A and B are shown apart, each in its own frame.
Chain A
Amino acid sequence: MISVFYQDMPCKVHGLIRANEDGSYTIILNSRDSRERNLQAYQHELDHLLKGDFEKVDTNEIEGRAHHG
């Protein structure tokens, strides 16, 4: 299960995804962003799931691959 919430966050942070202890995931999108940017952040976070990024180790590399392909 994936729960999605909106929350005020710093403008440089557009979204996040948390792996919960019960196996579910929580996505939080920055409520300050546009709907369009929210959708991009949502897709970015879903891609982390699809690519199995929570099984990886280096977050700098995970985000580098997520942004640069």
Chain B
Amino acid sequence: MGDNELRRIFANNLKYYLNLNGYSQADMARYMKVSTATTAKWCTGVTMPRVDKIQSLCNWFGIEKSDLLEDWQSKNTDTQSDKLHWYQDPETAEIAQRIFDDPNLRTLFDSAKDAAPEDLATVQAMLEALLRKEGRKD
């Protein structure tokens, strides 16, 4: 992938997340402590921010770097049902559902969409340990 293509993909993803969160380019400029001219260049694919600034943007949006750097928008067939599913790994989705359905756990997560099954299994074990400590679950 060439630099031009990468900048175009980044710009499209950046605009998507600005719009999704209701932020303006001026909001982004204030948050990132850069000029609006700089953010305009990011949004038009003229330039890209440095890696540390990309991470700051990810923190601001609550997303992963891949959400800004990968061409998921054109790959995604984007039916409404596709948009309404979060977990990329079916096994992770299954564990999340099992934790939610367990009346002792009944938990929802803020996790990355590429969270591995082991990530949620680790948290499940943590929750169960906390419950045992509280004497609520054997």
CA distance in complex: A68, B84 (Å):
7
Q: Per DSSP, are chain A's interface residues mostly helix, strand or loop, or mixed?
A: helix
Residues of A within 8 Å of B100, CB to CB, are 59
Across the interface, B119 reaches (CB within 8 A) one of A13, A17, A19, namely A13
Q: Can you name 13 A-B residue pairings with CB atoms under 8 Å?
A: A7-B126, A10-B123, A12-B114, A15-B110, A16-B127, A18-B127, A21-B136, A59-B97, A60-B84, A60-B93, A61-B86, A63-B87, A63-B108
State whether B59 touches A48 (Cβ < 8 A). Answer: no
Residues of B within 8 Å of A36, CB to CB, are 59-60
CA distance in complex: A44, B109 (Å):
9
State whether A64 touches B119 (Cβ < 8 A). Answer: no
Number of interface residues of A (CB under 8 A): 35
Residues of A within 8 A of B (CB): 7, 9-10, 12-21, 34, 36-37, 40-41, 44-45, 48, 53-54, 58-69
Residues of A within 8 Å of B93, CB to CB, are 59-60
**In which size bucket is the chain B interface?**
20 to 34
**Contact mask for chain B residues 10-45; partner A; CB cutoff 8 A; 1 contact, 0 none:** 000000000010000000000000000000000000
State whether B110 touches A9 (Cβ < 8 A). Answer: no
Residues of A within 8 Å of B136, CB to CB, are 21
Across the interface, A44 reaches (CB within 8 A) one of B62, B87, B105, B114, namely B62
Q: Is B106 in the interface zone, CB < 8 Å from A?
A: yes
Using known A-B contacts A34-B59, A37-B62, determine if residue A61 contacts B84 with beta carbons closer than 8 Å. Answer: yes
Residues of B within 8 Å of A63, CB to CB, are 86-87, 96, 108-109, 111
Q: Is B83 in the interface zone, CB < 8 Å from A?
A: yes
State whether A64 touches B115 (Cβ < 8 A). Answer: no
Across the interface, A60 reaches (CB within 8 A) one of B85, B107, B114, namely B85
Across the interface, B20 reaches (CB within 8 A) one of A37, A44, A68, namely A68
State whether A14 touches B111 (Cβ < 8 A). Answer: yes
